[in-house]
A and B are shown apart, each in its own frame.
Chain A
């Protein structure tokens, strides 16, 4: 057993856990943050995407032990209480959400992009979500939602 200290959705946390478990399981099972989904478990679908110090990572490939000292953001930490983040709002408005299973990962990949590249090109948007599979939408509405968010952020 090891004890990990890190920042989770803005709060300092500490937890004792088996060292070999995946970050995905740590979040889902120990913190009950089930917004992070498992779609494949092998780094191919992006449903498990979380932010680690601002970068989008597949939490099914990361070990829990790796989070020591890091800042982790999951989908539950993206909105400001009841107020949706601009990305979340635009996902809603543009119909970028169908079954919703890919949505948390998709939103986080987009959030990481807009954090580092507030005014992304179409290609940059595509690259940012290239690791996130969606079987429902055909992606167009997702890209539209991200573009619109970037535009809004420019205006501000």
Chain B
């Protein structure tokens, strides 16, 4: 199988926002934004810009008919700055003109004067000044204070991890059209309802007058979960005010400058172990750089805390998280949603401990893996726990011991080129940790010719959700997949959508599709029983479009039943709502059962490092991963490989650099490097853990989107192992990404 839209994609026929032919007279927008990180707006003069060629209007805070507010979790973010600006890139005004070029040129004629105020970029400084987005968060398990005395080794340290720009290949964009009933917005968003709700608030209209439609995204990765909203609202505001369609597609450089990224974190840890490597205590404090407003930061910080012990059982834990307000663009969701940042710290702690204790990191990892029934720091106990199975299967399938031995032999023979490897186990919880988001609905129509249309809240962004939903519907109805069309995501057909995020798109929407299809099956089975003159519809079954009674074939087919049902005036449309059962989380005690299930896996990453130049190549990534029963193997393998490479990028070459004034210097693809084909590992081998059906996923599958990203964390330690082969007593600063420059600094500093 392949991705749903693939045929159109390879033919170049699929339309993204910028490809839609807008109606004649459509206007184009450009965002005017703050050049400074923090300050008061003393003067803002549009008069020259308004006279500029082609300009039809300039909109700022005072033009908003409703509330100038786009904050999701916390109402702390304005669409346009009012009297102060809080980061470089803070939108101030929206210029609309007959062409994009004219809008851009007019922006240069806006005159603004600011009074600069002190700005903070370092999360620790923000914390010291008590500039927090929310009060600190704390997860605790066991009794950490008394546990230290039982530890034979106590190791402490600090860890930095950098941000990451999404570089979805399609930049942010939307088109807004005035309609008879209000505004229709075509948006490249993962969260159609967020766009609808926020646009309604901005325009002071009820939500039923805003329609949001999403066809597909050219990549999302979290970057369009909350942060597609502003651009859609700007287009909607201008379209509403001018009564003309307005289109806004951010040029790449503006997209990089204006939008949020993965949160940089600065963290302190303290880990305590027995002399044979059992971890007894772990204390960690995370300073999350949230940027200027909340965005999704509180939920992301919680995910960091949820995953702070990764795949390990640690009986005594204290994890504290501080979401620190700085003068950078609000950081946002990115594949893993804070989880990777937490996992990087515990892995660092284990590597540091292994070094001090003279043990192999893999031995400490193996000794502390989660077992069935172990309690996680948030109170949930593991079930169907595959942590050890995956770890051991990795060894078994890929002869991990030989890999390490071969590396040692290679390193003895080679002076300037060194190899390194590292194992990375993962455990990732599936569900939105904000419990109420774990709901979805589906609307399924069967037409009289037997064709079927499926509507859900899921947004297709390349992850293959539409192909999976199509398969789920086909299997549930037992009809040919070619009958099924999955529709665009539309707020008029599906209300109150949760964003397609948290790897949960297929699970939530898939279950809703199953429920809706089952309602339809029950109805047409009744029709079959009547047609066959039988009383008991439960003895009817439909298999591959053929109708059976007590497992005996009948003359009826699916299509006969559809036609007959229509003539009997029976509805061929069903709607169903699904909410994940038995999940809850108490935000006061920070205990509960937040996840429907967990994903497990283990990877080994091998690298070759040129110790003269600091450059490296990934030789291989080998993984044993728990897919459940995959709905579509090609799609799942694609998610794995893509996620792994993105994770490698985060740990190694993707470096965001701001100057001392809060201006991003790496604001182009020439300066911000993402993995290209030469960077990608020479070999990726993925083995699916056998016999691991998941009762909590549709068709017994497991979610796939985010977890593979975290295998990439192993890249960091594969590199430090190679570095240590070159310089055994190296004192390394744990500071990701580990770029070639940083490698050289660590290898050759005194």
Q: A residues bordering B, Cβ < 8 Å?
A: 28, 32-42, 44-45, 47, 74-76, 78-79, 84, 88, 91-95, 97-104, 107, 126, 129-130, 132-143
Min Cβ gap B249→A in Å is: 9
B674 in complex: contacting residue of A32, A135, A141, CB < 8 Å: A135
Expressed in whole angstroms, the Cα–Cα distance for A143 and B680 within the complex equals 11
Per the 8 Å Cβ criterion, residues 130-188 of B in contact with A are 166-171
B12 in complex: contacting residue of A38, A39, A74, CB < 8 Å: A74
Residue of A nearest to B708 (CB): A138
Expressed in whole angstroms, the Cα–Cα distance for A92 and B18 within the complex equals 24
Expressed in whole angstroms, the Cα–Cα distance for A100 and B461 within the complex equals 9
A39 in complex: contacting residue of B6, B19, B169, B461, CB < 8 Å: B169
Is A133 within 8 A of B6, CB to CB? no
A34 in complex: contacting residue of B19, B169, B668, CB < 8 Å: B19
Expressed in whole angstroms, the Cα–Cα distance for A25 and B294 within the complex equals 38
Min Cβ gap A109→B in Å is: 10
| Residues on the A chain within 8 Å of B641, using CB | 137-141
B interface size (C-beta, 8 A):
54
B315 at the interface (CB under 8 A from A): no
Expressed in whole angstroms, the Cα–Cα distance for A95 and B675 within the complex equals 19
Is B10 within 8 A of A88, CB to CB? yes
B637 at the interface (CB under 8 A from A): yes
Contact status of A101 and B684, CB under 8 A, knowing A74-B12, A136-B642, A137-B638: no
B359 at the interface (CB under 8 A from A): no
Is B677 within 8 A of A98, CB to CB? no
B15 at the interface (CB under 8 A from A): yes
B3 at the interface (CB under 8 A from A): yes
| Residues on the A chain within 8 Å of B635, using CB | 95
B252 in complex: contacting residue of A41, A129, A138, CB < 8 Å: A41
| Residues on the B chain within 8 Å of A100, using CB | 3, 5-6, 8-10, 14, 216, 218, 462
Is A35 within 8 A of B170, CB to CB? no
Per the 8 Å Cβ criterion, residues 639-659 of B in contact with A are 641-646
Residue of B nearest to A45 (CB): B669
Contact status of A76 and B12, CB under 8 A, knowing A99-B219, A99-B462: yes
Min Cβ gap B157→A in Å is: 31
Q: Using a Cβ cutoff of 8 Å, how many contacts connect chains A and B?
A: 169
Expressed in whole angstroms, the Cα–Cα distance for A132 and B7 within the complex equals 20
Interface string of B1-28 (1 = CB under 8 A from A): 0110111111111111011010000000
Is B6 within 8 A of A92, CB to CB? yes
Is A134 within 8 A of B169, CB to CB? yes
Is B169 within 8 A of A126, CB to CB? no
Contact status of A97 and B169, CB under 8 A, knowing A36-B12, A40-B252: no
Main secondary structure of the interface of B (DSSP, over half): loop
Is A133 within 8 A of B9, CB to CB? no
Is B642 within 8 A of A84, CB to CB? no
Min Cβ gap A90→B in Å is: 9
| Residues on the B chain within 8 Å of A136, using CB | 169, 219, 462, 638, 642
B678 at the interface (CB under 8 A from A): yes
Expressed in whole angstroms, the Cα–Cα distance for A82 and B641 within the complex equals 31
Expressed in whole angstroms, the Cα–Cα distance for A38 and B463 within the complex equals 21
Residue of A nearest to B249 (CB): A38
| Residues on the A chain within 8 Å of B642, using CB | 98, 135-138
Is A101 within 8 A of B12, CB to CB? no
Is B170 within 8 A of A101, CB to CB? yes
Min Cβ gap A3→B in Å is: 22
Expressed in whole angstroms, the Cα–Cα distance for A107 and B463 within the complex equals 20
Is A97 within 8 A of B3, CB to CB? yes
Expressed in whole angstroms, the Cα–Cα distance for A95 and B643 within the complex equals 15
B462 in complex: contacting residue of A40, A41, A98, A141, CB < 8 Å: A98
Expressed in whole angstroms, the Cα–Cα distance for A74 and B678 within the complex equals 25
A138 in complex: contacting residue of B10, B16, B644, CB < 8 Å: B644
Is A101 within 8 A of B219, CB to CB? yes
Is B216 within 8 A of A99, CB to CB? yes
Min Cβ gap A83→B in Å is: 11
Residue of B nearest to A99 (CB): B462
Expressed in whole angstroms, the Cα–Cα distance for A94 and B18 within the complex equals 27
B449 at the interface (CB under 8 A from A): no
Expressed in whole angstroms, the Cα–Cα distance for A81 and B675 within the complex equals 35
Is B11 within 8 A of A130, CB to CB? no
A103 in complex: contacting residue of B10, B168, B684, CB < 8 Å: B10
Residue of A nearest to B7 (CB): A92
Min Cβ gap A8→B in Å is: 14
B670 at the interface (CB under 8 A from A): yes
A-B contacts, 7 listed (Cβ < 8 Å): A34-B12, A37-B170, A88-B11, A98-B464, A132-B677, A138-B645, A139-B677
Expressed in whole angstroms, the Cα–Cα distance for A92 and B646 within the complex equals 22
Is B12 within 8 A of A75, CB to CB? yes
| Residues on the B chain within 8 Å of A92, using CB | 2, 6-7, 10
B676 at the interface (CB under 8 A from A): yes
Min Cβ gap B621→A in Å is: 9
Expressed in whole angstroms, the Cα–Cα distance for A33 and B11 within the complex equals 11
Min Cβ gap B224→A in Å is: 11
B73 at the interface (CB under 8 A from A): no
B221 at the interface (CB under 8 A from A): yes
B251 at the interface (CB under 8 A from A): yes
Is A97 within 8 A of B11, CB to CB? no
B217 at the interface (CB under 8 A from A): yes
B532 at the interface (CB under 8 A from A): no
Is B169 within 8 A of A35, CB to CB? no
| Residues on the B chain within 8 Å of A88, using CB | 10-11
Min Cβ gap A35→B in Å is: 2
Is B680 within 8 A of A97, CB to CB? no
| Residues on the A chain within 8 Å of B170, using CB | 37, 39, 99, 101
Is B169 within 8 A of A37, CB to CB? yes
Is A135 within 8 A of B12, CB to CB? no
